[in-house]
A and B are shown apart, each in its own frame.
Chain A
Amino acid sequence: MKSDFRARNHPAYWAFAAHRVSGVLLALFLPLHFWALGQALHGEAGLESFLRWSEQPLVKFAETVLVLLLAAHLTGGLRLLALEFLAWRDWQKRLLAGAAGLTLAAGLLFLLNAGPAAAQAYPVKPVRVIVPFPPGGAADIVARAITHEMGRAWGAQVVVDNRAGAGGLIGAEHAARAAPDGYTLLFASASPMTVSPHLALRPPYHPIRDFTPIVLIGFSPNVIVVHPSLPARSMKELIALARARPGQINYASNGVGTLSHLAMELVKHQAGINLVHVPYKGGAPAMIDTVAGQCSVFFAAYPTLSAQVKAGRLRALAVTSTRRIALAPELPTVAEAALPGFEATQWWGAYGPVGLPAALVAKLNADIGRALQSAEVKSRLAADAAEPAGGTPGDLAAYLRTDYERWGKVVKASGIRAE
């Protein structure tokens, strides 16, 4: 029987050849497949790392080859089995093998497209957006405006999860360790991604290696404010006062290692003054204590402070961007007011854990990008002098890398360490 198959004029010759060739290749491939799966499941890295690895283009290609081999092997094998065991007519045997092959191929095509299909079905359960600062701060305000829009577009729950502490390190670490399935995202300001990791003795994550950038959310200038009881109406007056009363004026920050902390340390460094640092868990509690007069100076993103400044409970001295802002054109920049060359812009980005599937990244980038362009989010951000950004995941990756390196140099030059 079998020798007949090998004859070129045998009706099942091609089924036989396909079965043999695919069989040999599968026999070589399967031990590797079993071994790699066993390694991933027994190793410390776990199955998630195996799945991340399997997202690589070369591995995807190998998987495609494997499933095509499997389809060829099963189709050819069924044809041979039918010839050997079934007393059917030849067209019936061909039909059996063809139908099985087509069914398998359809299933495999489905499987190969499972990534994009999963992205289309996403989200099928609530999405958690980690904000590594307390409610009420700038990062939280921006995140809530955008997640509200995302939830409305998806018809799904998008929950903001405030995980504050350690300058954003705690919340960001939590997001870095989550499964890369799109159901845990991070909306972070610049601090935990570009500043805090340089200050921590043992950073719990690497901002570039442990995250998948999704989209640049927006920018906002920082503002230096003082409590109205402090006799300083300009940056120059604040610096002069601090020089006259060294170590007697305190300043609040969003936390150790945040941009709010480091930028103020830069002011101290450049102006040669000594202010006492009072770190909080985020912008909101720092602002509350500054309004209450517990702290005299505060340096934070404009969205955190705008309402208090407008109400006269805090006095704004200068903005930290390179240009004045349209919402408060009377405020000079720190650079023009006292410290030439000074700049510390706040910005926010959306990230997933490393290994987020490309199809999901593309969907999230498009959907968050759309939310950023919505009139509601735009007006909400504009009310706080924040500008929506957008762009590709690559744009955020490039921006993150540049800012991460810039603050690394600042930290190194200033000698600031986490307290």
Chain B
Amino acid sequence: MTGRGDLSVRAQVLLWTAQRASAAVLAVCVVVHLVTILYAVRGGLTAAEVLGRTQGSVAWAAFYFLFVAAVAVHAPIGLRSVLAETFNWRGRSLEVTVIVIALALALWGLRAVYAVFI
């Protein structure tokens, strides 16, 4: 058993792949995000100046969109494995819970990205 509940083998492989792929994306995104914040804060930029540079920038919007998308994929899949293995939680309720978490992460994350862009 892989601890993935009642999912088909194909779905389990899909989740496994998605989590590894999103992890690789996140590793890069986290580094870029931290370097950006370090540059901004140590350079003495104010919040207004930071927003002045990100607003209207398609490149920054695309980067943070990718970041949030990767988080929304990676975190719920990982949490699903932990919940299934730790609490022996299976079935529809687990899937719904995980989807709700993924949606919350995606919606709130994209809301913040939208504000940084607009």
Contacts and interface: CB of A to CB of B under 8 A. Distances in A.
Interface of A: 2, 20, 23-24, 26-27, 30-31, 34-35, 37-38, 41-42, 46-48, 50-51, 70, 74, 77-78, 81, 84-85, 100, 104, 107-108, 110-111, 114, 117-118, 121-125, 179, 181
Contact of A27 (B30, B78, B109): B78
A115 to B, nearest CB: 8
A84 B20 CA distance: 10
B38 A51 contact: no
Contacts of A74: 27, 30
Contacts of A125: 44
Nearest to A120: B42
A179 B105 contact: no
B47 interface: yes
Interface in B12-68: 20, 23-24, 27, 30-31, 34-35, 37-38, 41-44, 46-48, 51, 68
A42 B111 contact: yes
B47 A51 contact: yes
A24 B68 CA distance: 17
B99 interface: no
What 10 A-B pairs are tightest by C-beta distance, nearest first? A41-B115, A34-B108, A38-B111, A47-B47, A114-B41, A38-B112, A37-B112, A34-B109, A27-B75, A27-B79
A26 B75 contact: yes
B75 A30 contact: yes
Contacts of A37: 112, 115
A332 to B, nearest CB: 51
Given A114-B42, A125-B44, A38 B27 contact: no
B14 to A, nearest CB: 16
A122 B42 CA distance: 10
Given A30-B105, A107-B34, A108-B34, A122 B112 contact: no
Given A31-B108, A35-B108, A38-B108, A23 B43 contact: no
Contacts of A46: 47
B44 A124 contact: yes
B84 interface: no
Nearest to A24: B82
Contacts of B71: 30
B105 A23 contact: no
27 contacts: A2-B2, A23-B79, A27-B76, A27-B79, A27-B101, A31-B104, A34-B108, A34-B109, A37-B115, A38-B115, A41-B112, A47-B47, A47-B51, A48-B46, A48-B48, A78-B27, A81-B23, A81-B24, A100-B27, A104-B30, A104-B34, A108-B34, A110-B42, A114-B41, A118-B42, A121-B42, A125-B44
